A and B are shown apart, each in its own frame.
Chain A
Amino acid sequence: MSGGRGTALARKRALLGGKHLLLLVLAAFMLFPLVLTVSTALKTDRDVRLNPFGLFSSFSTENIVTAWTVGSFGDYVLNSFLLSVPSTLLVVVLSTMGGYTFARLPFRGRTFLFYLVLLGLLVPFFAYMIPLYFQLRSMGMLDSLVGTNLVLASTGVSFGTFFMRAFFSDLPNELEEAARIDGATEWQIFSRVMLPLVTSGAGALAVFTFLQNWNNFLVPLLYIPGGEYRPLTTGLYLFLGGRSLDLGPLAAGTLITILPVLVLFVVMQRQVTQGFLSGAVKG
């Protein structure tokens, strides 16, 4: 009896071991491009020339320095923040206010406005990016921080409003009624009672939106044709086009581009995953 149970257990354990082995091999495959980036970025210049893709065959930070200074990746980092932070804040603020309205403040015509916002989930940026270019040009908003931040925000608010609305809809009506009986104004109900209860949702939205904006390629490609506010994504693309043979600095530039993403992802994994999971409704 006990022997039979023992072998069954051993078989189960062996199966689990095999599973782990397979998973580790798969994880190594999935992570390999990342490993290759780090390895190439941290080589000496000479080693890059001789053996560009050999893993961790030397160590130096000279490529990082070259990319940061000569490759202007230092400027690109700053620009990426200047384009991602305000647009993210804008998305979170506008979506929170809009989400609250669409969840809890009924008025005539509200449904029409909500459908207009939701239309943004159905129509991809692609469909209207070309006319938007000429619109921005006539508004004097090409190559501008304000214009690009507003465009980035506009690509995020549809999902953001939808996302925040779900949080506000879940809050119990009793809260609102109790506050009203206590003499709170509508504004106070929103700002003092309801708002503190959706901070985790707003946080997830912020992390998710920041990643989207940081990674955005098409918006800066189209609307920042000059170089003044070029962020990391189009900066790296430009470097790839002009100096693709400078493998060391190119790898370093790639590492600089993805490092903030990686840090944010590892530290706030739950928020990121939550955002992407609910972002899935975007289809």
Chain B
Amino acid sequence: MSGAVGPSTVAPKRAARVVSHAPRSTRRAQTRLGLLLVLPLMVVVVVFFVIPLVNAIYYLFVDFNGINPNPPFIGLQNFVELATDPAVWDAAVNNAIWIVFGTVGPLALGLAFALLVWGVRRGSVFYKLAFFVPFVLPQVAIGVVWGWIYDPTSGWLNKGLELIGLGRVTTGWLGNPDTALYAVLATAIWSVSGFVFVIFLSALRNVDADIMDAARLDGANPWQRLVHIIVPQIMPVFLMVTTITLVGGFSVFDIIFIMTGGGPAGATEVLGTYAYSSAFQLNRISYGTTLALIITVISIPFAIWLNRLQRRLSLQGTGA
């Protein structure tokens, strides 16, 4: 209580001002209420997030099989095995494919949808609903329905292909190891595009209409207007969405687990499904945890880097 200048927070100026204005009795009352209000939150965060996270780090260095209460310490053995496990590398390649297409696909589609709906008055609410709805549906439901669409004999995809004379490319999309990963990816892109669309649409509202008009008068064609005027203005949002889809791509699990379970023959196995099956099907708890943590650790630098870039760009925007 004696160091009344205020805690050394991230925003020391603001915190110090708030503290110094208030008399001591108020400050004490605020501290008391603050601790009281934040206590239940901290209990939940510590018990269900911090403790398991610390345990995860402990699991990295032991060989826990789920039963032994005192698992043997094995040093870096989990990491060594991980680096030399060919299944990990196959899964990492699939993961990389997933991250690239699962980021580029929704960004391209979402931007295209947003540009189309931008400026449309009538029916815009309907379009927004229609494009966004796939994103709010539970992944299990999405997996079920797309399984039917990909059905080898009576699925709509094959029927449609036959209809337009492409009968020879029909296949059992989820059962064929060559197509399974891309079939699940297409489903994921269908589901995520609407989310990207809504974000882009709200960003487009802030695009300066005067500059657009001026460019049009100067004879800039739509493509030039997109590349030179629209994209630079929505760049911070663009990077934010890229971060989200990219980081999500690292830890993708639900939709693959539901649609193919990593099969056929490992064709859709990603790090997430491999971590799950290692831990819960093979009882290699430590190994699975190591994998899961590695996924997180790899993805964090990407998130931070893109976040920095985004912040720099949006600061530039406000400074200009």
Residues of A at the B interface (CB closer than 8 Å) are 16, 19-20, 22-23, 26-27, 30-34, 36-37, 40, 52-53, 90, 93-95, 97-98, 100-102, 104-111, 113, 116-117, 119-120, 122-124, 126-132, 134-135, 150-151, 153-154, 157-158, 161, 180, 185-187, 190, 211, 214-215, 217-218, 222, 232-234, 236-237, 240, 244, 247, 250-251, 254, 257-258, 261-262, 265-266, 269, 272-273, 276-277, 280-283
CB distance from B283 to the nearest CB of A (A): 11
Q: Give the B interface residue count (CB, 8 A).
A: 104
B155 at the A interface (CB under 8 A)? yes
Given contacts A97-B38, A101-B37, A258-B137, contact A130 B289 (CB under 8 A): yes
Q: Which of B238-289 contact A (CB under 8 A)?
A: 240-241, 243-244, 247, 251, 253-254, 258, 272, 275, 279-280, 285, 288-289
A123 to B54: give the CA distance in the assembly, Å: 12
With a CB–CB cut-off of 8 A, which chain B residues contact A258? 137-138, 141
B7 near A107 with CB under 8 A, answer yes
A123 near B145 with CB under 8 A, answer no
B33 at the A interface (CB under 8 A)? yes
A27 near B296 with CB under 8 A, answer no
CB distance from A261 to the nearest CB of B (A): 6
B136 near A265 with CB under 8 A, answer yes
With a CB–CB cut-off of 8 A, which chain A residues contact B6? 106
A42 to B139: give the CA distance in the assembly, Å: 22
Residues of B at the A interface (CB closer than 8 Å) are 3, 6-10, 15, 18-19, 26-27, 29-35, 37-38, 40-42, 44-53, 55-56, 58-59, 66, 113, 116-117, 120, 122-123, 125-149, 151, 154-156, 190, 194-195, 198-199, 202, 240-241, 243-244, 247, 251, 253-254, 258, 272, 275, 279-280, 285, 288-289, 292-293, 295-296, 299-300, 303, 306-307
Determine the residue in chain A with the shortest Cβ distance to B134.
A30
With a CB–CB cut-off of 8 A, which chain B residues contact A107? 7, 30-31, 34-35
Q: Which of A16, A27, A32, A126 contacts B251 (CB 8 A)?
A: A126
Determine the residue in chain A with the shortest Cβ distance to B187.
A33
B48 near A150 with CB under 8 A, answer yes
A23 near B127 with CB under 8 A, answer yes
B154 near A236 with CB under 8 A, answer no
B300 near A130 with CB under 8 A, answer no
Q: Which of A117, A126, A234 contacts B45 (CB 8 A)?
A: A117
Given contacts A106-B6, A185-B29, A265-B133, contact A131 B44 (CB under 8 A): no
Q: Which of B48, B122, B144, B199 contacts A236 (CB 8 A)?
A: B144
A153 to B41: give the CA distance in the assembly, Å: 10
A273 to B133: give the CA distance in the assembly, Å: 10
Q: Which of A19, A124, A135 contacts B52 (CB 8 A)?
A: A135
Extra 7 A-B pairs, beta carbons < 8 Å, given A110-B9, A123-B296:
A90-B44, A126-B275, A127-B56, A131-B59, A186-B32, A257-B138, A277-B198
Determine the residue in chain B with the shortest Cβ distance to A257.
B141
Main secondary structure of the interface of A (DSSP, over half): helix
CB distance from B201 to the nearest CB of A (A): 10
Which residue, A119, A126, A217, has most C-beta atoms of chain B within 10 A? A126
B44 near A33 with CB under 8 A, answer no
CB distance from B78 to the nearest CB of A (A): 13
Given contacts A33-B149, A107-B35, A280-B244, contact A215 B138 (CB under 8 A): yes
CB distance from B142 to the nearest CB of A (A): 7
Q: Which 5 A-B pairs have the closest CB atoms?
A: A105-B34, A154-B48, A131-B55, A27-B130, A98-B41
With a CB–CB cut-off of 8 A, which chain B residues contact A119? 49
Given contacts A106-B18, A280-B240, contact A254 B251 (CB under 8 A): no
Determine the residue in chain A with the shortest Cβ distance to B202.
A277
Given contacts A217-B140, A276-B135, A283-B243, contact A237 B116 (CB under 8 A): no
With a CB–CB cut-off of 8 A, which chain A residues contact B31? 105, 107-108
Residue pairs across A and B with Cβ atoms less than 8 A apart, 5 shown, are A106-B15, A110-B9, A154-B47, A236-B138, A258-B138
Determine the residue in chain B with the shortest Cβ distance to A216.
B138
CB distance from A199 to the nearest CB of B (A): 17
Q: Which of B15, B116, B272 contacts A19 (CB 8 A)?
A: B116
With a CB–CB cut-off of 8 A, which chain B residues contact A157? 41, 44-45
B144 near A254 with CB under 8 A, answer yes
Given contacts A34-B133, A106-B19, contact A113 B42 (CB under 8 A): yes
B148 near A40 with CB under 8 A, answer yes
CB distance from A75 to the nearest CB of B (A): 16
With a CB–CB cut-off of 8 A, which chain A residues contact B123? 20, 23
Q: Which of B58, B131, B198, B293 contacts A27 (CB 8 A)?
A: B131
CB distance from A88 to the nearest CB of B (A): 14
CB distance from A178 to the nearest CB of B (A): 14
